[in-house]
């Protein structure tokens, strides 16, 4: 979802099967679809769409790319990356999500050319999981850590 999206109606609720059944019975009695939709409390376009489907929608909007268990696996992997002193950036999260979706053959809308999830998806992912800490990896100071980077002498 784009970051700039603002829902026009704040109180949007999914249409229920009961509303569709009531509207269908009103239409059979001779009332117009527009009047039936108004009586039931939904928009005419929503009623027409649901009458064609024969079933009410269970939720509003797109289905999420990952379910809760899959997101928990991605969070665990990101925490391991953070604990390995390599830091954790938004690009790391985006690449990890793309690689996870590709490896598990999960249908997604991520960018194939950059092989990353979108920035809006990553922002909302971090918002959903506040336990993730974003940290750029620190640059290695060779002068301070020279013991670890000295070449072995050939004596």
Range of the domain at 48: 17-53
pLDDT: which is higher, 104 or 86: 104
Q: What is the SS3 assignment for 80-99?
A: HHHHHHHCECHHHHHHHHHH
Strands annotated E in 8-144? none
Domain count, the chain: 2
Q: How confident is the model at residue 146 (pLDDT cuts 50, 70, 90)?
A: low
Instruction: Judge whether 143 lies within some domain.
Output: no
Tokens of 129: 């999981």
Q: Can you tell me the mean pLDDT for 19-23?
A: 89
Q: Each residue of 33-80: pLDDT tens digit?
A: 999 999 998 889 888 888 887 665 666 677 888 898 999 999 998 888
Instruction: Please tell me whether residues 72 and 124 are part of one structural domain.
Output: yes
Instruction: Judge whether 150 lies within some domain.
Output: no
- pLDDT > 70 in the chain, percent: 74
Nearest C-alpha neighbor of 118 from the set 81, 65, 154, 72: 65
pLDDT of 148 reads: 56
Instruction: Judge whether 149 lies within some domain.
Output: no
Instruction: Judge whether 63 lies within some domain.
Output: no
């Amino acid at each position: 979802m784009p970051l700039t999206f603002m829902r026009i109606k704040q109180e949007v609720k999914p249409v229920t099967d009961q509303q569709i059944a009531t509207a269908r019975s009103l239409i059979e009695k001779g009332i117009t679809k527009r009047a039936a939709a108004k009586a039931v409390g939904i928009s005419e376009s929503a009623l027409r769409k649901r009458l064609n489907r024969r079933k009410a929608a269970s939720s509003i909007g797109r289905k999420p790319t990952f379910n809760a268990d899959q997101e928990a696996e991605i969070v665990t992997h990101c925490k391991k990356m953070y604990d390995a002193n390599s830091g954790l950036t938004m690009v790391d999260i985006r690449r990890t999500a793309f690689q996870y979706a590709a490896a598990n053959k999960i249908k997604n809308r991520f960018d194939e050319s950059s092989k990353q999830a979108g920035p809006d998806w990553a922002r909302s992912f971090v918002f959903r999981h506040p336990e993730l800490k974003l940290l750029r990896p620190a640059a290695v100071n060779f002068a301070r850590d020279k013991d670890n980077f000295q070449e072995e002498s050939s004596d």
